Amino acid sequence: MVVLITENIEEGSRTAARLVGQAVNNNPALRLGLAAGNTPTGLYRNLVDLHRSERLDFSRVEIFSLDEFLGLATNSANSYHTFYHQHLLNHVNIDPTHLHLLNGQTDKDIASYCSYYEQLIRDNGGIDLQILGIGRNGHLGFNEPGSSLNSRTRISLLSASTRRGMARLFTQAHVPEWAVTMGLGTILEARVLLLLAFGKQKAAAVAKAVEGPLCASIPASSIQLHPTSILVLDHEAASSLRNQEYYRHEASQLEALLPDWLRGEKSSSVADSPSTGNCPF
């Protein structure tokens, strides 16, 4: 696990966008998992800027989504389908046939649909880089406290605290009680996890996820099991971490510690070929 502590949200968003941008440059056929919510909006804004200013090419990137509200039409103003298009997909050269976004209003039996989505990920070779946020109660995706660490894509009943936190986004509508989400087991199969957290309100959850025990009551603690997880935090979100001094020292040695792809060194053997079952970086 690599913990990058930045001074503020803006720096954190730029740092995360640099990592994603370098991943796309190194592997144009990157399979990228998106997360919704307020946290990654700056990341997506910076990716759009990189597309416009440096011609970051999304034409071969395959997109998957982490979660979606159950029962909302894809064109609903509150759906994550709409969120992804508003903040990223409408502004880059993505191929519509490469979009694999969860549908909260599927015409299939929901259990069958979740199995279909799991198979879709497998058929495409798995997710290379999964973007994540973290809930105040430690949820990851919509995997609420108590979720199995081996859970797969499924429907999830949203907790009262999660629904309260989203109430401001549903000013004209009822906050859904259910969502469809990748399971923790699904998330952990991504080759690289990139988790973002900003603000003092996330500090307790971040500390439990990074330095606390691995437990189902803090679903985000499952990232401790992943061999290549990268956390980008602002100083407020990192404020409850006990080992800040070490993380900051580690960050100062980043060029020596991280793989070549994080340094922006393009590997032609990967970049010139489609994604494989190996780590894309």
Mean pLDDT by 10 residues, the chain (281 residues): 94 96 93 96 98 97 97 92 98 98 89 96 97 97 96 96 86 84 98 96 98 97 94 97 90 66 48 41 46
Catalytic (active site) residue 11: no
List 62, 68, 118, 144, catalytic entry: 144
d(CA 217, CA 182): 17
List 81, 137, 143, 226, catalytic entry: 137
Q: What is the pLDDT of residue 249?
A: 82
Q: What is the pLDDT of residue 175?
A: 86
CATH number of the structural domain 2-265: 3.40.50.1360
List 62, 67, 128, 234, catalytic entry: 67
| Domain ranges, ordered by start, for the chain | 2-265
Q: What is the pLDDT of residue 258?
A: 61
Catalytic (active site) residue 109: no
Q: What is the pLDDT of residue 260?
A: 66
Q: What is the pLDDT of residue 11?
A: 96
List 51, 81, 139, 226, catalytic entry: 139
Q: What is the pLDDT of residue 265?
A: 55
Q: What is the pLDDT of residue 5?
A: 94
d(CA 201, CA 195): 16
Q: What is the pLDDT of residue 102?
A: 97
